[in-house]
Structure 1
Amino acid sequence: MKAGRGGVRPRPGFLRLKAAVAAVGAALLLLGAPSAHADAPAPPTMADGFGLTQAGAATGTATNFVITVKTAQVAGEHHIRILLPAGYAADPAKRYPVFYFLHGASDDPANPYLAYPALTAATSMITVIPDGGLRGWYTDWLDQSTVAGAQNWENFHINQVIPFIDANLRTLATRQGRAVGGISMGGFGALSYAQRHPGLFSQVASFSGADDLSVDHMVMRGAVVATLTNAGAPLCGSSSPTCSLTFGPTVSGEAIFGSPYPVFNADWRWNEADPSTHMAALAGTGIAIYTGNGNGDPANMEFWAQSAAQHAKDHLDALAHPYHYVDYGNGTGWGSHCNGGHEGGCWAQDLVDYVPRLEAAFASA
């Protein structure tokens, strides 16, 4: 370049070079040449099937993403979060066991906090977090005519989600390749599914679960009824950002299991659904139960979860079934964010303890 009266003037050769560079850049863009800021790998493509139709594209990353599905079994749209191990794409021939992780009342798998660190750090398994509704209770409701619409949650999960996942991902589609676990309402769902479908799951875990719906635990029954009638939020954990006093349209407290009152055997469906008294159905299944004590405060749902867990443990002891049981009390020494309550800081630490055990059990199967 040389200086002129107007300042620095570019030489003609420089102008020609600049124009050539611009032309090459434009041509590369037209040809779809990769840029230095190429998009991150996208979630794998999932094909509709088994009564599930996807609504829109998946959102998230290649290893932590959410799909939205519709099904005639449950009214509305439903999110399913899927966590793949980091090496999933690198070895297209490798298959993985699957952990079905069931959330609690008032939760939604679209919220990233359900992807607990221990789950995203897992290296040898897939985790699937299906929508269970704000108060679906992992059950095909007795009353399908409420304003909530179709509520066949068990059918949705067992007959649709599981085969859909097996068809779309590289899973080990066997009993030894599946586990189910859940928090709070999902703890009930996990035990219930493992008991009712013993051929599907080799491992089951309940984290602060509603493990007892029998007449021995009327408080837990009341908590279920409260989610239906919107009489408070007894099963919401304090860490849940979606927790509210409303779980959906108000329906009858008998909508799921019929009458909860132990009069002339009117509550027989509750007794049939109760996990604590049906532990014999888990013979040959790995069992883990985690609970705190809510600091001894009856106003904290964990106080009641502890007694429900103890009832389940008592039945396991009577059967001489092996199990892994953790009661971390007020949370002292159980991670850095657990206060013994019904909340995510404790569940995160539960999973820190449980996930390596589960991966080891899968590896030895």
Structure 2
Amino acid sequence: MSKWPRAVALACAGVIAMTGSLGVAEPVAAAPHDTNAHEVARVLSISPTTPTRATVTVYSPAMQRPVRVSVLLPSDREKRRPTLYLLDGIDGGIYTNYTQSGWTFQTDIVKFMADKPVNVVMPIGGMAAYYTDWQKTDPVLGRNRWETFLTKELPPLIDKRFNGNGRNVIGGLSMGALGAMSIAVRHPDLYRGVVAFSGCLDQGSPEYRQATAASVSTRGGNPDNMWGPLGHSSWDDHNPAAHIEVLDGKPMYVSVGNGLPDPSLGIAGLASPVGGVLEGVVLQCTRSFKRRADAAGVKVTYDFRSGLHSWGYWNQDLHRAWPTIAKGLGVRR
């Protein structure tokens, strides 16, 4: 018997065990029956938390509902500046009742980015949506058109309201890592760099697709509504490994753990017992991605480190990836 069916099953069970109850669904406003084709994305409100942090609510015509994003700003806001977009993991805000991103709730990103001359934009929500445009509205997960929102609707609003200069880097962790890399290969002109932490970046094999689809199912969604059945060509269209050559020459940083805890991180380096299994699956997927990127002659900075599938390591990854991010954004390190 292949090791993959068991590994995938354990990984999916691990997602449930690590995140607890699946009974909380992201609040989704009912979509109108008739969509105005001439609707435009617009800022509905800006709620400052501090002078350098705000929650911005944007109406998305693509998703036909308001979407909240967390924005971090530098203390010096006179000059135009680049923007870092960071995508969340599979629960996308659930732990804070969708009041903030996992990035601001689980890491030291607010402090770490305080002296950096960039905007940081983090969507709040997107549970199990992989930050992509779904083929169909899902009865549980709702209408997901995240790719359109993140690439067409949101960036012009951020640049206009927060003095952006149009230079962007995108990144994410776990689900958000695949989402970020998939968006980047589909919109290479929009991003100067990509960072991906603990994400399965090669969706070319049935085993990796099964793992991704199963993660959607753990949150009550029907994965066929995303990119269709596992053999559908849309899976190929969204597979970063199959199109990585379009990002050749851009700064890229990919990290993944070896499935073993790093004692130096203490409590922050722990996870549920299945955190190692999850990261082990992602490790194999990352090696597959690297083989394909190497074959295409695309240079990527890899960090094959110790660690589990948990926030303590992703916080560390953010710090380690900063030189790559800074290069993409064109700012000092």
- Report TM bin, short chain: 0.7 to 0.9
The structure 1 segments of at least 4 consecutive aligned residues displaced by more than 4 Å after TM superposition are 296-299
Q: Does 1:348 align with 2:333?
A: no
Q: Structure 1 residues 95, 149: CA separation in 2 closer, same or farther (over 3 Å shift)?
A: same
Question: Of 170, 174, 179, which residue of structure 2 is paired with 1:189?
Answer: 179
The residue that corresponds to 2:217 in the other structure is 229
Question: Of 256, 270, 283, which residue of structure 2 is paired with 1:291?
Answer: 256
The residue that corresponds to 1:271 in the other structure is 236
Question: Of 113, 121, 140, which residue of structure 1 is paired with 2:112?
Answer: 121
Asked if 2 retains the 8 angstrom alpha-carbon contact of 1:50 and 1:163, the reply is: no
- Counting aligned pairs with the same residue, the percent is 26
Q: Please give the secondary structure, in 2, of the residue aligned with 1:82.
A: strand
Q: Structure 1 residues 151, 95: CA separation in 2 closer, same or farther (over 3 Å shift)?
A: same
The residue that corresponds to 1:134 in the other structure is 127
Alignment partners' CA distance in 1, 2:299 and 2:84: 20
Q: Does 1:179 align with 2:169?
A: yes
User: 1:258, CA displacement in angstroms?
Assistant: 0.8
User: 1:298, CA displacement in angstroms?
Assistant: 8.3
The residue that corresponds to 1:205 in the other structure is 195
User: 1:282, CA displacement in angstroms?
Assistant: 1.1
The residue that corresponds to 1:253 in the other structure is 223
Q: Please give the secondary structure, in 1, of the residue aligned with 2:243.
A: helix
Alignment partners' CA distance in 2, 1:129 and 1:112: 6
Alignment partners' CA distance in 2, 1:256 and 1:227: 12
The residue that corresponds to 2:80 in the other structure is 95
The residue that corresponds to 1:237 in the other structure is none
The residue that corresponds to 1:281 in the other structure is 246
Matched residue count: 274
User: 1:87, CA displacement in angstroms?
Assistant: 2.1
User: 1:65, CA displacement in angstroms?
Assistant: 1.9
Q: Structure 1 residues 172, 343: CA separation in 2 closer, same or farther (over 3 Å shift)?
A: same
User: 1:171, CA displacement in angstroms?
Assistant: 1.1
Alignment partners' CA distance in 2, 1:207 and 1:355: 13
Q: Structure 1 residues 145, 128: CA separation in 2 closer, same or farther (over 3 Å shift)?
A: closer
Q: Please give the secondary structure, in 2, of the residue aligned with 1:205.
A: strand
RMSD: 2.5
Letter in 2 for 1:359: A
Question: Of 311, 318, 324, which residue of structure 2 is paired with 1:357?
Answer: 324
Asked if 2 retains the 8 angstrom alpha-carbon contact of 1:148 and 1:251, the reply is: yes
Q: Please give the secondary structure, in 1, of the residue aligned with 2:172.
A: strand
Asked if 2 retains the 8 angstrom alpha-carbon contact of 1:119 and 1:355, the reply is: no
TM-score, normalised to structure 2, is 0.75
User: 1:69, CA displacement in angstroms?
Assistant: 3.0
TM-score, normalised to structure 1, is 0.69
Question: Of 316, 328, 336, which residue of structure 1 is paired with 2:293?
Answer: 316
Q: Please give the secondary structure, in 2, of the residue aligned with 1:97.
A: strand
Q: Please give the secondary structure, in 1, of the residue aligned with 2:81.
A: coil
Asked if 1 retains the 8 angstrom alpha-carbon contact of 2:57 and 2:66, the reply is: yes
Asked if 1 retains the 8 angstrom alpha-carbon contact of 2:88 and 2:102, the reply is: no
The residue that corresponds to 1:44 in the other structure is none
Asked if 2 retains the 8 angstrom alpha-carbon contact of 1:119 and 1:351, the reply is: no
Q: Structure 1 residues 128, 298: CA separation in 2 closer, same or farther (over 3 Å shift)?
A: closer
Letter in 2 for 1:310: R
Asked if 2 retains the 8 angstrom alpha-carbon contact of 1:80 and 1:110, the reply is: no
Asked if 1 retains the 8 angstrom alpha-carbon contact of 2:92 and 2:102, the reply is: no
Q: Which has the higher helix share?
A: 2
Work out which of the two has the higher radius of gyration on C-alpha atoms and give 1 or 2.
1
User: 1:50, CA displacement in angstroms?
Assistant: 4.1
User: 1:132, CA displacement in angstroms?
Assistant: 5.1
Alignment partners' CA distance in 2, 1:358 and 1:278: 21
Q: Structure 1 residues 112, 129: CA separation in 2 closer, same or farther (over 3 Å shift)?
A: closer
Q: Please give the secondary structure, in 2, of the residue aligned with 1:70.
A: strand
Higher RCO (Cα < 8 Å, 6 or more apart): 2
The residue that corresponds to 1:6 in the other structure is none
Give CA deviations for 1:309-360 in whole Å, capped at 9, x if unaligned. 111111121122222110112xxxxxxxxxx111110001101111233224
The residue that corresponds to 1:144 in the other structure is 137
Asked if 2 retains the 8 angstrom alpha-carbon contact of 1:75 and 1:151, the reply is: no
The residue that corresponds to 1:81 in the other structure is 70
Q: Please give the secondary structure, in 1, of the residue aligned with 2:194.
A: strand
Letter in 2 for 1:292: G
